[in-house]
Amino acid sequence: MFTIQCCPKGRLARLGMAGLVCLASLILGAAGTGAHEGHDHGEADKSPVVSSAYPRVAARSELYEIVGIVKGGQLSIYLDDAITNEPVTDAILQVTIGESAAIEATKAGNGLYTVAIADRKPTGSVEVIFAVSAQKGDDLLVDSLTVPQTASPLQKHEYGPLSFSRRVVAFAVAAAGFGLLFGYSIRSGRRIAATFSAVVSAIFVVLAATSFGESQTGANSAGPPEPPALSDAPRRLQDGSAFAAKPTQRLLDVRTAVAEPQTIRPAVNLIGRVIADPNRSSIVQSIYGGRVIPNGGAIPRIGQTVAKGDVLIQIEPHLPVADRTTILEKVGEIEQLMAVTENKLRRLRPLAERGAVPQGQVNDLESELEGLRARRDTVRNSRTGFEELRASTDGIITAAKVVPGQVIQPQDVLFQIADPMSLWVEALAYENIGLKAPEAATAITHTGDSIALSYVGTSRALRQHASVVQFAISEPPTGLNIGQPLNVMLQSGAPVSGLIFPRDAVVRSSNGENIVWLHTAAERFEPKPVRVLPVDATRVIIAAGLDGGERVVVRGTDLINQIR
């Protein structure tokens, strides 16, 4: 039978205090393993925003814009017009890098010039001077070129073998001490102290395992994440602007322009279609109808050129039996009268030769006989002869609706002929555009081509609740077909002030609003929302959202807008 003896309160308190101190030191030591010198878990690593892959220098003046890119021991220089972004190909370019002497750049075509710098590659920040001599004018452009130094490898956060061994030895000694204390407590019969020692030992084991795992993780962990790969590919930046390197701009054929405010009348958009000029077109019809007979060959087909008066086809009339009988009876009656007249002539001619009968009677009978013959031919051929259909105007056949042997009805349209160089446009106006001639009118085809129009007139009668407006095309483009739909831009209304730009300069953003792209830097483009009014087939008014003097992309805008 065991006897449980309680230790004095003072010794128990001192023992508990010592245990708490040991436990606190263990906790602090384990916490210290979570943060080491040179490593802060409170802030995430921040890497600089990378805008281009290679060191470069960019400068701009009133005449020129220049960008130099260092790559492979060579400085590639892109020289463009400062307004239009068009490559300058006729320049003589002198380049001074730092303290070195001026070097004449070599032309590589399409506004690209090169300078070899392999033997004198600059480091750090150096001043670069470009001396340009071209047809547009001479200029001097200066800027700094910064070439970064080779970066030293980042140090990895790991524990040394000595530090790790010391921690293991310290924890082993502490474990041995707690084990002896636990054994002594059990042997001495102090179960409360033994229980306390066991709890502290268990906490120590957990902390030691955690510290050991963190040490192994810290020793085997990889270095910091690698920086993003550098690239000169076009891309959107975080502020919504687009980065496009000069080589990319050359591939996309990007052009810019600067416009000044102007006052002009906006345009009204009408839906129209191409029609033939009524004065230079015609249709071919039959009056009586009948069966189609080719005129000595094939029937003319669509696209064939014909001249006025050409016989196209013949029509064999269709006669009912009663009509044929009437014609035959009439012809028989006329032939009977002809026979009587011929008999009189045979009797009177000998008498007239002897002078027994006046010669005038013989002449009258001969005239009567000729008239009877003409009547017979007229009656016989009036409905039994072929009807010839001829072209009424010069042009090409745009429609042919007949085949050999076809039976047609009177007034059927068999052919349509039009002059391809004389076309009109007919449009429907649902707005009140007035009866006066507009200031200007243009049309846009489905391919985006612009056509100049001349106002002909406006109908006072409505068609489908719209006024009919007709225009003449002075110079029809090749490939324009009758019936082809067109967008007609009619300038009318009160004048407004704004900037005039090509239609291609305005695109739609992802949210559907109209935007233009500003060329804010040599290789940077910024979108800007604008309010647009149409002017004609090729131009628009930017009435709001843009200031005068800003460089706007007018060609290649849709390609810049697709950069993501």
Percent residues over pLDDT 90 in the chain: 28
The answer to whether residues 363 and 394 belong to one domain is no
Q: Which domain holds residue 358?
A: 322-381
For the chain, the distance separating the N- and C-terminal CA atoms, rounded to the nearest angstrom, is 86
H-state helical runs in 230-358:
246-252, 321-354
pLDDT at 461: 86
Please answer whether residues 458 and 427 qualify as being in contact, where contact means their C-beta atoms are separated by less than 8 angstroms: no
Domain boundary (86, 112, 147) is at 147
The answer to whether residues 488 and 466 belong to one domain is yes
The answer to whether residues 204 and 135 belong to one domain is no
Name every residue whose Cβ is closer than 8 Å to that of residue 272 and which is 6 or more positions away in sequence.
425, 426, 427, 428, 443, 469, 471, 485, 486, 487, 488
CA distances, 305 to each of 277, 308, 391 (Å): 17, 10, 10
The answer to whether residues 192 and 209 belong to one domain is yes
Percent residues over pLDDT 70 in the chain: 73
Looking at mean pLDDT, say which of 182-196, 227-241, 283-297 comes out highest: 283-297
Q: What CATH number is associated with residue 500?
A: 2.40.30.170
Residue 444 has pLDDT above 70, yes or no: yes
Domain boundary (147, 165, 199) is at 147
Residue 272 within a domain: yes
Residue 2 within a domain: no
Residue 461 within a domain: yes
Residue 161 within a domain: yes
pLDDT at 47: 35
Helical packing angle, 359-382 and 321-354, nearest 10°: 170
Residue 385 has pLDDT above 80, yes or no: no
Q: What is the mean pLDDT of residues 211-236?
A: 58
The answer to whether residues 160 and 25 belong to one domain is yes
From the DSSP assignment, how many helices (H) and strands (E) are in the chain? Answer: 7, 34
pLDDT at 200: 53
Residue 477 within a domain: yes
The answer to whether residues 282 and 413 belong to one domain is yes
Residue 364 within a domain: yes
Residue 45 within a domain: no
* Structural domain count, the chain: 5
In 3D space, the residue among 525, 522, 532, 536 whose CA is nearest the CA of residue 488 turns out to be 536
Residue 49 has pLDDT above 60, yes or no: no
The answer to whether residues 545 and 478 belong to one domain is yes
Please answer whether residues 557 and 502 qualify as being in contact, where contact means their C-beta atoms are separated by less than 8 angstroms: no
Higher pLDDT, 125 or 81: 81
Q: What is the mean pLDDT of residues 315-332?
A: 78
Q: What CATH number is associated with residue 283?
A: 2.40.50.100
Which residues make beta-bridge pairs with 455? 471
Rounded Cα–Cα distance for residues 271 and 319 (Å):
48
Domain boundary (98, 123, 147) is at 147
CA distances, 79 to each of 61, 118, 519 (Å): 11, 22, 15
The answer to whether residues 282 and 408 belong to one domain is yes
pLDDT at 296: 78
Give the pTM.
0.59
pLDDT at 34: 43
The answer to whether residues 428 and 482 belong to one domain is yes
Lowest-pLDDT range of 129-133, 165-169, 323-327, 498-502 = 165-169
Residue 47 within a domain: no
CA distances, 214 to each of 29, 158, 210, 363 (Å): 12, 10, 6, 144
User: How high is the mean pLDDT of the chain?
Assistant: 78
Please answer whether residues 487 and 537 qualify as being in contact, where contact means their C-beta atoms are separated by less than 8 angstroms: yes
Instruction: Using pLDDT thresholds of 50, 70 and 90, give the confidence band for residue 120.
Output: low
Q: What is the mean pLDDT of residues 425-440?
A: 78
The answer to whether residues 20 and 132 belong to one domain is no
Lowest-pLDDT range of 16-30, 101-115, 249-263, 312-326 = 16-30
The answer to whether residues 426 and 542 belong to one domain is yes
The answer to whether residues 411 and 516 belong to one domain is no
Lowest-pLDDT range of 52-56, 197-201, 310-314 = 197-201
**Residue entry with tokens 């990007």:** 254
Q: What is the mean pLDDT of residues 452-481?
A: 88
